[in-house]
Amino acid sequence: MFYGIIIRLYLIDNKHHHLPHIHAKFAEFEAPIGIGDGEILSGELPRKQLRLVHRHG
When divided into structural domains, the chain yields a total of 1
8 A C-beta contact, residue 37 and residue 23: no
Going residue by residue through the chain (57 aa), what tens digit of pLDDT does each one get?
Answer: 899 999 998 766 666 667 788 999 999 999 999 888 899 999 999 999 999 999 886
At 45 the pLDDT is 96
> What is the per-residue pLDDT for 28?
97
CA distance 30 to 23: 7
Provide the 8-state DSSP code for 10: E
Whether residue 23 is contained in a domain is answered as yes
For residue 52, the enclosing domain spans 6-56
Instruction: Locate all alpha helices (DSSP H) within the chain, ordered by sequence.
Output: 47-56
- Domain for residue 36, yes or no? yes
The answer as to whether 1 is a domain residue is no
pTM of the model: 0.81
Residue 3's pLDDT is 92
